[in-house]
Amino acid sequence: MLSLFALPKPFKGHIGAIQRNAISQWARLRPRLDILLFGNGEGTGEIAQELGLRHVPDVNCNEYGTPLLNDLFEKAQAIASYDTLCYVNADIMLLGDFMKAVQNVASWRDRFLMVGVRRNVDLDEPTIYESPDQEARLRALVLQQNLAVTTWAVDYFVFSRGLLPAFPPFAIGRPGWDNWFLWKARKSKAPLVDASEVVLAIHQNHDYSHHPQGWQGVHQGEEAKQNLRLAKGHFCSIEDATHKLASDGIVYNFWHWFAPTKRAVRAWWWAFLKVTGPVRHPLGLRRKSIASFLARTRLIKSHH
């Protein structure tokens, strides 16, 4: 039914623990997935063997040693057992609702891209989520923490084989390529389906110790700049989805036509707050309190 592929980081410390959480959870999904783990990072082959998954160690890399998107997607589509594929970041836990969503969308159209927002969560005791009632406990924890979500971060992509014939040589794990992927799908006239309403994709929070320069190196380093050059300013967010998957089926998203306008208004709003900060702060008008008030009045969308 579904071939899922990922490229984990080396299984060290906290990132190793949360990747094991995620990959073990994928292996428990039913119907059982065709799971491919790419890369030769420490521990990848071992967990693939332990869980009975396929391991593909060889992926082309750039001069920094970072795997390249075009080679990863080309190889995954060439060897996948099914015509519906999913690329997912290795720190994302997917639950039973994900499989139902894939079935619904794949039976609706032969050609599509399905994405959704993630929900962030801090997991302090990862091993407790291997109990039979883990889905209920995870859902309760996510709702309890209620951490910020964004429509720009895209962590899973369900798509039909051959959706895009080729990708630029983006560096995996660096910004820009995910939003380019959404734009390219829209450009190719494929339906872009937002499954956020029905799929709880759980992102386990982590640091960026896997990169020598941490968060700044990942998001502002030379590889990030190269990704942005390759994207040539072509970006979409989940708000640009042409369709939404709801509990009662797939519906056309009329509001996607207004997504660029909404982004422009938000950009103006945050610029306005930055400029007026020296005047507002002595009066006790902090950015957070203003944003909270306007979110309650529905004038802007809350980030929480």
User: 228 Cβ partners below 8 Å, 6+ apart?
Assistant: 175, 176
The predicted pLDDT at position 140 comes to 87
Query: If DSSP codes are grouped into helix, strand and coil, which group holds residue 68?
Result: strand
- Nearest-angstrom CA–CA distance, 134 and 132: 6
The predicted pLDDT at position 273 comes to 61
Phi-psi region of 33 (alpha: psi -120 to 50; beta: other; left: phi over 0): beta
Nearest to 113 by CA among 163, 153, 72: 163
Q: What dihedral angle (degrees, nearest 10) is formed by the CA atoms of 101, 149, 20, 61?
A: 90
- The pTM of the full predicted model, rounded to 2 decimals, is 0.84
Nearest to 153 by CA among 169, 167, 173: 173
pLDDT tens sequence for the chain (304 residues): 999 999 999 999 889 989 999 999 999 999 999 999 999 999 999 999 999 999 999 999 999 999 999 999 999 999 999 999 999 999 999 999 999 999 999 999 999 999 999 999 987 655 555 565 678 888 888 888 888 788 989 999 999 999 998 889 999 989 999 999 999 999 999 999 999 999 999 999 866 666 565 556 556 679 999 999 999 999 999 999 999 999 999 999 987 866 666 665 655 555 666 677 777 677 666 766 666 655 555 444 444 3
H-helix segments, the chain: 13-28, 44-51, 69-79, 96-108, 134-145, 177-187, 214-220, 222-231, 259-280, 287-296
